[in-house]
Amino acid sequence: MIEHIPYESLGGADHGWLKAHHHFSFANYYNPKRMGFGKVRVINDDWIQAGTGFPPHPHNNMEIITYVRSGAITHQDSQGNKGVTNAGVLQVMSAGKGIVHSEYNLESEDLTLYQIWIESNERNVEPHWESRAFPDQAVVDKLPLLVSGFPEDREQALFIHQQARILGGFMLAGQRIEQPIKDQAYLLASKGQFEISVKGEVLIMNKGDGAQVTQSNTITLIALSDCEIVMIDAPAS
């Protein structure tokens, strides 16, 4: 089963320095039909003006994943972590028992990113932060693994405290892959256009769109143009 979430239907907020599009209820955007997707609580598609950002603020017991699509973001937190995450890089912050962090765009160009929040399956753990590059080569046979909470993936993916995976990569126009799903999947069209096929249902995804896939352990992805895809495979409950 596929549910299409067009970019134009997303919730949003325009703060001048921040233009946010919310896939689920967040901050002042409330939609009782869009309260999350299983353990996925937040997906924000943000534009952040150069020289601005989020001042220090707290989090706890949440896995917060940021994928920088253009520009760069400077992270600093109460654990002593500090770093610049450039375009094409993901960062993961497990808030655990509590952390205070800031995220600023200190560059001369504007910043675009996805921020994804996944509920933790272990409470009050020690917070941690790490980053890794998004693959810059075309997908071969399935989307590369980027983030995971499964022990067997520890060496090849950023770690989170949840039995979930985030995958993503570039597909070239005309390319087709069969992508397995463990639980249920939320797909994001980061760039370009692609087709999703699930048990006879077909959906065209354009840049900025989202899609929920349930009741299937595989999907077919066909690139209608050169495209970039992010997929979150997370438990329903």
> Domain with 216 in it: what CATH number?
2.60.120.10
Residue 58 reports pLDDT greater than 90? yes
Residue 25 and residue 11 in contact, taking contact as beta carbons nearer than 8 Å:
yes
> Hey, what amino acid is at 127?
P
**pTM (predicted TM-score):** 0.96
Query: Cβ–Cβ contacts within 10 Å for residue 228, how many?
Result: 22
**% the chain with pLDDT above 90:** 97
Please identify, among 67, 99, 133, the residue that sits at the C-terminal boundary of a domain.
Answer: 133
What is the rounded average pLDDT of the residues 78-107?
95
Residue 227, CA atoms < 13 Å, CB-side half-sphere:
27
For residue 95, give the 3-state DSSP assignment.
Answer: coil
Return the pLDDT at 136: 86
Q: In terms of domains, do 23 and 128 share one?
A: yes
Domains: count for the chain: 2
Residues 6 or more apart in contact with residue 152 via CB below 8 angstroms: none
Specify the DSSP class assigned to residue 31.
-
Per-residue pLDDT tens digits for 118-146:
999 999 999 999 999 998 889 999 999 99
User: Over the chain, what is the mean pLDDT?
Assistant: 96
For residue 9, give the 3-state DSSP assignment.
Answer: helix
**% the chain with pLDDT above 70:** 100
Q: In terms of domains, do 122 and 159 share one?
A: no
